Structure 1
Amino acid sequence: MTSTSTPPGLARFNASEEDAALAALHEVCGSTAWARRLLAARPYATPEDLYTAGDAAMAELTARDLAEAMAGHPPIGRPKPGDPTSAREQRGMAGASDELRAELLELNLAYQEKFGHVFLICATGRTGEQMRDAVKERIANAPEREREIVRAELGKINRIRLARLVEED
């Protein structure tokens, strides 16, 4: 038998003052437009309703909104110092060799040069080698194709972060 009660984190998010809820959403995604869309649709009956709203908001982001969202993500292999979220998400790089780190740095720089932003991937559960291989593959993409891949990767990251938000006690 499944419980129909609202998870504690979702109940807290639904009841939060607007500023606190907006701050929580900015921890999930750096796009103000995305956060405001989710904020405007509160309260959410279930976590799935929140995830669905997050996906819909992601689909509506402009190129400028996507750039704002990406600006909050550190390069792969260099999580933000003191940021447990980026460290947790990039855990696959924890045991990476100096050679792999150097290769990823070089690939990240080439990617940034081509696309004008950091390489973005949902790193959760991926090894350093898998992330390196993904950069190598995606650097050949046309900018329009890459923008849509980035949108999808951001959506995956946001879902993971929203799940953490609604499951918190």
Structure 2
Amino acid sequence: MHRGLQVFNRAPETTATTWLLTCCGSPAWAGRLAAHRPYPTTDALLAAADEAAYDLAPAQLATALAAERPHGPHPSGIPAAARTALDAAHAAYESRFGHVFVIALAAYRPDEHLDQTLAGLRARLANDAEEERVVTAEELRRVARARLTRLVSGIGAQAVGEAVKPGKSGEFPDSGPADSPYVPV
């Protein structure tokens, strides 16, 4: 069993829940995963995370989206026109759908993130509210899955014996909502 998963499985439930909330801001999702420990493998944890994400009710999805940070600072070196287009697209999206835009970018090279984000924003602005709810839920599931993978890996990298050294507010570095549309998750 992966060292990080061992530490995650043995952590107090409140600690595990706090860690999980850095992956997805739904208390229902985090509580469910924490309560069903121990997980025999990371794949089992990820499967449980997927199932819990698929089971989020609309209000729980809204809570998770409210915990997401709006798009972060622009990556360095992008042209002013691209920054303007990105800001305008984010504003239009948030105005239309009432929540921040979420997109999983792990499948793309870093130099493709800006283009994928802009393309995703433009394409998804054409969705009706129900279509976008489904797409957003899937993107949030993918983002949470990537964050959870990093979380468990980070716990393993930072564990010393049974002591774990979390960052501020119990979060592990690179584990949670500090992601922006420009960060591969």
Number of residue pairs aligned between Structure 1 and Structure 2: 151
Structure 1: runs of 5 or more not aligned: 1-5, 80-89
Q: Deviations over 1:108-165 (max 9, x none)?
A: 1111111111111113444212110110001000111111111110111111111112
Deviates more, 1:145-154 or 1:158-167: 158-167
Instruction: Provide the C-alpha distance between the structure 2 equivalents of 1:74 and 1:129, rounded to a whole number of angstroms.
Output: 20
- Aligned 1:50-61 pairs, distance under 5 A: 50-61=45-56
Matched, 1:142 2:128: yes
Q: How does 1:124-163 map to 2 (within 5 A)?
A: 124=106, 125=108, 126-163=112-149
User: Whole-Å Cα distance in 2 between the matches of residues 160 and 94 of structure 1?
Assistant: 24
Separation of aligned partners in 1, 2:69 and 2:76: 15
Query: Which residue type is aligned with residue 25 of structure 1?
Result: L
| Structure 2, gaps ≥5 residues long | 158-185
RMSD: 1.5
Residue 42 of structure 2 is matched in structure 1 by 47
Q: Report 1:94-105 matches (<5 A).
A: 94-105=76-87
1: CA distance between counterparts of 2:43 and 2:35? 16
Question: Quick one: distance in 1 between partners of 2:82 and 2:118?
Answer: 8
Structure 2 contact 13–35 (Cα < 8 Å) conserved: no
Higher relative contact order (CA 8 A, sep 6+): 2
- Of Structure 1 and Structure 2, the greater helix share is in 1
- For residues 98 and 73 of structure 1, do their structure 2 counterparts lie closer, same or farther at Cα, with a shift above 3 Å needed? farther
Separation in structure 1 between the aligned mates of residue 18 and residue 42 of structure 2, nearest angstrom: 18
Could you list the per-position Cα deviations for residues 13-52 of structure 1 after superposition, in whole angstroms to 9, with x for gaps in the alignment? 0000111111100111100010011011100000010000
Give the secondary-structure state (helix, strand or coil) at the position aligned to 2:38: coil
Shift in Å, 1:99: 1.6
The residue number in structure 1 matching 2:17 is 22
Residue type of the partner of 1:147?
A: R
TM norm structure 2: 0.77
What corresponds to 1:119 in structure 2? Answer: 101
Query: What TM-score does the superposition give when structure 1 sets the normalisation length?
Result: 0.84
